[in-house]
Amino acid sequence: MKIALVQPPFTQLNAPYPAVFYLRSFLASRGMEAEVRDHGIELFHAIYSSSGLRRIFADAAVHLDRLIDEAEGQAAANLRRYRANSARYVETIEPLVDFLAGKNGEWGHVIASGNFPYGYRVEAFLEGKKLPLSRDESRIAATLVLDDLADFIRYVLDEEFALVKYGDSMASSRREFAPLESALESSYILPAFYGPLADSFLAHLASGGDEPVALCLSLPFPGTVLPAMYLAKKAKALLGSRCSVIWGGGYVNTELRYVKAKAFFGYCDYLAFDKGYAALAAILERIGCGKPAQDSGDPSAGFYRTLTLEGERVGVHRMAPADYPVYRDDPAFVVDEAAEPMTSGASAVGEVRNPASSGVPRDPVAVLAEALETGAVRGVFPDYSGLDFSRYLYIAESENPMHRLWSDGRWLKAYLAYGCYHRRCAFCDVSLDYIGGYRPTDTDGLFAHLMDQRHRTGQSGIHFVDEALPPAHLLRFAKLNLEAGRPLSFWGNIRFERAFGWDAAMLLASSGLLGVSAGIEVATDSALDVIGKGMTLEDIVAVCLAFGENTVLVHSYLMYGYYTESPKDVIDSMEAVRQLFEAGLVGSAFWHRFVLTRHSRANRERLGGLAPNLKVAELPWDFASNDLSFEGEQRFERYDEGLDAALYNWMEGRGLDRPVRDWFDFPVPHPGIPRDLISKYAERGRERMAASLSASEPSGSVWWLGGEPLVEPGPKGAAKLSWFYRNREQSIALPRAAADCLLEALGKNGTARVPDRERAANLVARLDGLSGGPRAFHETPAFRKLRRGGLAFI
């Protein structure tokens, strides 16, 4: 059997998405070899090449005269500019792409001079800037050329095209499947550019005999659905019954749990849900044995978390307990009763509590599958070896350093834990496995694996794609990296937990942590309580302060339009966010309007008087069904433009002194929070931080993050201890005996691996004793300076 793991277009251009590389490792652990392909980066290079743009402009020429006549003002001028510069685009696109891929640095000087073709996005960026551009500005301009060309393609040839997504709005919570088939038939980009790539790939799969082929497609986002359909349709046409098409990934897990459109299964034989390991293993076993599900005589045998078409109905096999109410109530589904999980005792996150207590024996297939997945999450890590990272681009769309982390780096993507350890937020899909099925990995094993991947790929930057990095596991990873000489840099998503205090932030920053992103959602204490965040605004400020003072970048996710929100709540949250930017506590952020999802706590428990929109709920659906409508959601639409405009300016350091009400063209309430609320929280945070640095019985072990200390003798038994921390020289005066004690302790407890680190409380007690007695040293300014200058207790 041939197994192909494919990431369909379109995803990010700077690094591969990790799912297929996790599956590759999983299959290898079971003795199965799989070919892995990232069609996203391959299709990008097919379009953004001299031959690709030559065809784009030739095909566009058929429409341009008409479109220019129909357009007005700036739109018509832009179209004329593209037509006039078409030959220059063809000439310059490959050196520009090479420049963004780090291969043709010299061409950056051409960009800096302004001597290249560009459209309105680059023109807006260049406004007010002097030529020549800086190196960084040149990279941003080059990136915007790609966006300008994507705008041209979308306007003239294919309205579904964008640089890193295709048909996103068509697939996002699309209730009916038929419009997607229509969009597929009307596509320009897919047959023109994906077609030749797909043909070559499928011919390769078809070669070498008549063995079965498993084409496994990972769909993380709506913008990958139409390309996946296109590839699957071609595979079916060429390979026929030899080929089984399997879909999985984030989009499948959230949107397609209740798909029932029969036509859809012409593009997909099996839907594999949740972690996917056990589902894929069972499907491949069936394919390898040559037993198609509909012909096996026992369609449920072995399947786990899988949907497949069985005659005229959709077969449901060992899905999550929380899914079964929908399946049982809809005749479009046929439920295998023998494999249906028990729902008595089900938890809020869809797990079964102590099933043995019911007296009913558990399904042995499910028991084995769960054990397999637990082991896989703990010990399976993504294998990127053999991938040509030189084809990925360093994309720079903004001058904001935190905002750029997502696209400006060839990150190796991995997770420290599957799911979310908090899993209590009301707006979140807590009943789905990707949130509720929390499982940590083997942190030591992951670190060793990423070190091996560093040597195999040449990449040393890690993007942790966790829902929320568990503090203890993140700190363990950081310590391993310190002990290994800091070979890796990393960043990822966290919760603003109190565990991320001064010592944790200092150690993480010293170990290579570049930035963190985290959800504030609604920046008022009342709203944080309502949505179940498990933190206060003052907690958030304290964490931002600790990271900020240790030069770790901070990004925040923000939400508005929650169904219990009032206009005043929106404005109060906006004012708090303004103050966070003004205080330098966050560097970038992103607003999104609240979307009610089927699998959220808010919907499952009908929290806070939630009222679903019954008119919408009763409309027919046969495809995606995750997003739900609720009464009153339209009242927040008018806030979109003002919130986005304010945030864009705040990230660029502009407009922070402008009253938040002025960003809207309609009346809004005055903020009800003090203009100095965040600064007061920050001041209290600094006071608590200072007090924690002088704790008489600190917990944890000693970590010295500064440079090699030096002791110089002073008069009357005193000494001077000096060292460098972050390239700044530090020094303190203390008794000579205490200085010698510190010199020995810091030398033994540096960042190198040591067999037995000293406990912090023991060190503090020894220093106090050598300085004259209890509290004699640890409450002094000298000790606080030492603690702020590299002495961490973790």
Residue 599 is predicted with a pLDDT of 92
Instruction: State what percent of residues in the chain have pLDDT above 90.
Output: 84
Q: What is the DSSP letter of 485?
A: T
Give dist(CA 446, CA 457) in Å, integer: 16
Q: Where are the alpha helices (DSSP H) in 353-442?
A: 364-379, 433-436
Cα–Cα dist 360/119, whole Å = 67
Instruction: Write the burial class of residue 180 (CB in 10 Å: 0-12 exposed, 13-18 middle, 19+ buried).
Output: buried
The SS3 call for residue 399 is: coil
479-507 pLDDT per residue, tens? 999 999 999 999 999 999 999 999 999 99
Mean pLDDT of 265-283: 96
- What are the φ and ψ backbone dihedral angles of 723, each rounded to 5 degrees? -165, 170
Average pLDDT over residues 694-714: 92
CB distance 492 to 552 below 8 Å: no
Taking residue 762's Cβ as centre, other Cβ atoms within 10 Å add up to 13
pLDDT at 293 over 70: no
For 131-171, write each residue's pLDDT tens digit: 999 999 999 999 999 999 999 999 999 999 999 999 999 99
Write out the H or E segment, with its range, that includes residue 492.
strand 489-494
Higher pLDDT, 350 or 455: 455
pLDDT tens readout for residues 25-68: 999 999 999 999 999 999 999 999 999 999 999 999 999 999 99
Query: Tokens for 437?
Result: 């099925």
Q: State mean pLDDT over 341-351.
A: 42
What pLDDT is recorded for position 72?
86
Strands 306-310 and 333-335: unpaired
Q: Over 60: is that where the pLDDT of 294 sits?
A: no
- Are the CB atoms for 530 and 524 separated by under 8 Å? no
Taking CA atoms, 459 is separated from 36, 385, 398, 462, in Å, by 18, 11, 23, 8
Which residue has better confidence, 694 or 292?
A: 694
Is residue 227 a contact partner of residue 194, using CB atoms and an 8 Å limit?
yes
pLDDT-derived band at 342, boundaries 50, 70, 90: low
362 close to 356: Cβ distance less than 8 angstroms: yes
pLDDT for 355 beyond 50: no
Question: Across-strand partners of 405?
Answer: none
pLDDT band, very low/low/confident/very high, at 460 (cuts 50, 70, 90): very high
Q: Which is nearest to 412 in space by CA: 443, 380, 382?
A: 382
> CA-CA distance, 150 to 22, in Å (whole number)?
31
Lowest-pLDDT range of 230-239, 284-293, 375-384, 590-599: 284-293
pLDDT at 358 over 70: no
The structure tokens listed for 760 are 């912090």
pLDDT-derived band at 301 (thresholds 50, 70, 90) equals: low
| DSSP, res 105 | T
Contact 400, 651 (CB under 8 A): yes
- In Å, how far are 49, 144, 151 from 114, measured between CA atoms? 21, 13, 20
Residue where the block lists tokens 């590839």: 231
Q: Percent of the chain, pLDDT > 70? A: 95
Query: Under a CB-based contact definition with an 8 Å cutoff, are residues 348 and 430 in contact?
Result: yes
Residues 551-555: what's their mean pLDDT?
97
Q: Which of the two residues, 590 and 299, has the higher pLDDT score?
A: 590
Confidence of residue 338 (pLDDT cuts 50, 70, 90): low
| Cβ–Cβ < 8 Å for 592, 558 | yes
With 0-12 / 13-18 / 19 or more C-beta atoms within 10 angstroms meaning exposed / middle / buried, residue 390 is exposed
Average pLDDT over residues 616-623: 83
CA distance 221 to 215: 18
Quote the mean pLDDT of the chain.
92
Whether the predicted pLDDT of 716 surpasses 60: yes
* Amino acid, res. 133: L
Residue range 497-544, pLDDT digits in tens: 999 999 999 999 999 999 999 999 999 999 999 999 999 999 999 999
Whether residue 21 is preceded by a cis peptide bond, meaning omega within 30 degrees of 0, is: no
pLDDT at 295: 44
- Rounded Cα–Cα distance for residues 192 and 413 (Å): 31
The three-point CA angle 428-228-240 to 5° equals: 135
Cα distance between residue 589 and residue 574, in whole Å = 12
- Other Cβ atoms closer than 10 A to 492: 24
pLDDT per position as a tens digit, 764-782: 999 999 988 888 898 899 9
Confidence (pLDDT) at 353: 35
Residue 713 neighbours by CB distance under 10 Å = 10
H or E segment and range at residue 213: strand 213-218
Is residue 560 within 8 A of residue 594, CB to CB? The reply is yes
Local confidence band at 361 (pLDDT 50, 70, 90 cut-offs): low
Residue 121 · residue 109 · CB < 8 Å:
no
Per-residue 3-state assignment (H helix, E strand, C coil) for 546-603? HHHCCCCEEEEEEEECCCCCCHHHHHHHHHHHHHHHHCCCCCEEEEEECCEECCCHHH
Residue 339 confidence class, pLDDT cut points 50, 70, 90: low
How far is it, in rounded angstroms, from Cα 273 to Cα 284?
14
395 pLDDT exceeds 90?
A: yes
